[in-house]
Structure 1
Amino acid sequence: MNMAQYQTLLYYCYSPIENAEQFAADHLEFCRSLGLFGRIIVADEGLNGTVSGTPEACKAYMEAVYADGRFNHTEFKIDDVEEPSFIKMHCRYKPEIVHSGLRDPKIINPNERTGVHLEPTEFMEMKDRDDVVILDVRSNYEHSVGRFKNAVTLDIENFREFPEKIKELEQYKDKKILTYCTGGIKCEKASALLLKEGFEDVYQLHGGIIKYGKEAGGKDFEGQCYVFDNRVTVDVNAVNPSVISTCKNCGTTTSKMINCANPDCNEHFTQCDACGWEMDGCCSDTCKEHPRKREYDGTGYYVKVPQPVNVEKISKRKHKNFPPKENVEA
């Protein structure tokens, strides 16, 4: 069997980092020295990243992370890919490794208390019980393209809105709450917050949807899993796969998710190939006529370039048709 030409690593680790800003700068140079591409967020609370490169480079990176000592409990989800999942390498310091607004470790600290971690086979065994509620803690554009069968989804544009939705979940306080996300990182804080708010039986899918697909075949995950790299979505269900998303423009069933070709919109949405070419990769006729509309090549993926501040764009992003995007997730 031929070895994969490239690999993509998805990971996170909650572990305190002193002088995290300098760590981010040094870590960027290290990743570049290995020839890696990707996006990494560094915060005082830990690491969150997706990187891509040759198997040798990825192996060297994982060995270096473990050798550091602070990140020994990092779990890497490894995908074999035909080409790197990024074209650039970014490593940036931010206040949190996933934006939640819950920065104070005295309030929420994933290293001290979270929901019970369930391995994929354990999650699969529990998810259909009558006393269980499956809770998707991801954003609208993520669960619109794929989610677990019978999952409760939240109308949120960004994970930082999750704390505002706790009251809506109080009807499930007498149930076992099984939380899940792409790779596990959001569940660390979501499950911790649920416990703090008085939910007693809280669990989380360890390793998220990606690990569930690899170790449990992805059974009963409907649609595809949104990922934060050039692939946009990936298949995870090898047991009973299905497509649940529909084209925004014509309603045809499709799993293809793109970004609007209008850079001032850049909305994540599902669009079939026929409408993609007819709409020139745009979500609406208004966006199609935008003077800075990007050239559509059939993929709906665009390399980010610096743009001038646009007050109208910022205002629109406060509305549901223009969700703010999170940079990276594990």
Structure 2
Amino acid sequence: MSTYQTLLYYCYSPIENAEEFAATHLEFCKSLGLVGRIIVADEGLNGTVSGTAEACQRYMQEVHADPRFAKTDFKIDVVEEPSFIKMHCRYKAEIVHSGLRDPLVIDPNKETGKHLEPEEFMEMKDRDDVVVLDVRSNYEHSVGRFKNAVTLDIENFREFPEKIKELEQYKDKKILTYCTGGIKCEKASALLLKEGFEEVYQLHGGIIKYGKEAGGKDFEGKCYVFDNRVTVDVNSVNPSVVSTCKNCGTVTSKMINCANPVCNEHFTQCDVCGWEMQGCCSTACMEHPHKREYDGTGYYVKVPQPVNVDKISKRKHKNFPPKETTSL
């Protein structure tokens, strides 16, 4: 039986002709039989790819062979099957959408919070002079977060700069930032430093690496990931469940996508409500004419939507927040 792996990684490193690189890189990934989602920008790479162990090993070797990406830190998960259906590699303005594109404002290659290895983070996180800050979006930290962490009410990481004023009460503390794989912390910690926070740190490799190297101690719930698995376990020391069903309030760790393709909201829902609500987050979504058939998983392969779908209403409806692309 083949052994499959899923690789999570990012690398801030300038890429010339990044759009052309994205097209070439896509063909390379396809030649290895990989599936996944990669974002290429002038500032670097951000991706999750999945395939056989041999293909993943070859991919990591080729990436590390390029001097621009030699420092890339891959987080490797062994999986029963590939974590994606197709292979996508696209050029975008940023490798994580923050709205902070100007390198004169922040540049992760020049200044970020001090990187803490998982064991260092674990040793520091409970000190009285420390604040642990989750820089991820609502749907991510709703299903799992560090014990006593400060979370932000944001639907997308691009809203993070707007929350800086709310964090000023912690300026006399050491700020320990964390996210899924580290990529958001590179920009979040850099912005905090620019805004006058003096002692800013970040969890190197994020929650995923912390789970592998420190057992995930005190991470409550599950970690949201940007692939078909949706969430993964990281805590093997003192695991717990912190999320509840959106519809009935029952404790559950199951996260799905709403069966209404226009909504597609990420939310937690117990199995009982899942079948009763047909995989929808609300009765309004249950009545949508293009509702997808719920099979108990809450995962749907993306298909082109009808041209008459009113996507503007998606953004106006409080249950239809705009979604982020791959972000580690």
Common topology (TM > 0.5):
yes
Alignment partner for residue 73 of structure 2, among 58, 71, 75?
Answer: 75
2:240 matched to which residue of 1? 242
- Residue 138 of structure 2 is matched in structure 1 by 140
From 207, 212, 215, give the equivalent of 2:213.
Answer: 215
Q: How does 1:1-330 map to 2 (within 5 A)?
A: 5-308=3-306, 312-318=310-316, 320-330=318-328
Deviation at 1:323, TM superposition (A): 1.9
Q: Decide whether the 8 Å contact of 2:262 with 2:314 is kept in 1.
A: no
User: Could you tell me how far apart the structure 1 residues matched to 2:93 and 2:306 are?
Assistant: 24
Question: In 1, distance between residues paired with 2:259 and 2:283?
Answer: 11
Counterpart CA distance in 1 for 2:139 and 2:199 is 28
Q: Give the gaps of 5 or more residues in structure 1.
A: none
What's the CA shift for 1:315?
3.8
Question: SS of the residue aligned with 2:319?
Answer: coil
Distance 2:172 2:110 in 1: 24
Q: Aligned to 1:258, what secondary structure does the other structure show?
A: strand
- Measure the CA separation in 1 of the matches of 2:134 and 2:151: 5
d(CA) in 2 for partners of 1:149 and 1:309? 45
Supply the distance in 2 between the matched residues of 1:99 and 1:310 (Cα, whole angstroms).
Answer: 28
Change in Cα spacing, 1:22 to 1:168, as seen in structure 2 (3 Å) is same
Matched residue pairs, number? 328
Kindly indicate whether the alpha-carbon contact (under 8 Å) linking 2:262 and 2:309 is maintained by their aligned counterparts in 1: no
Q: In structure 1, how many angstroms separate the alpha carbons of the residues matched to 2:42 and 2:81?
A: 32
CA displacement at 1:320 relative to structure 2: 4.2
Helix, strand or coil at the partner of 2:69 = coil
**C-alpha contact 1:45 1:96 (8 A) present in aligned 2:** yes
Which AA in structure 2 matches 1:179?
T
The SS at the match of 2:228 is: coil
Give the C-alpha shift of residue 310 in structure 1.
6.3
State the alpha-carbon separation in 1 of the partners of residues 156 and 137 from structure 2. 5
Going from structure 1 to structure 2, the CA distance change for 1:325 and 1:26 (only over 3 Å counts) comes to same
Shift of 1:311: 7.3
TM-score normalised to the size of structure 2? 0.98
Once the two structures are superposed, what CA deviation does each residue of 1:112-136 show, in whole Å capped at 9, x if it has no partner?
0000000000000000000000000
Unpaired runs of at least 5, structure 2: none
- SS of the residue corresponding to residue 275 of structure 2 reads helix
Cα shift readout 1:202-258 (whole Å, capped 9, x = no counterpart): 000000000000000000000000000000000000000000000011111000000
Cα distance in 2 for residues equivalent to 1:146 and 1:320: 22
Q: How far apart, in 2, do the equivalents of 1:298 and 1:220 lie?
A: 30
Letter in 2 for 1:53: G
Superposed displacement of residue 314, structure 1: 2.8
Q: For residues 4 and 239 of structure 1, do their structure 2 counterparts lie closer, same or farther at Cα, with a shift above 3 Å needed?
A: farther
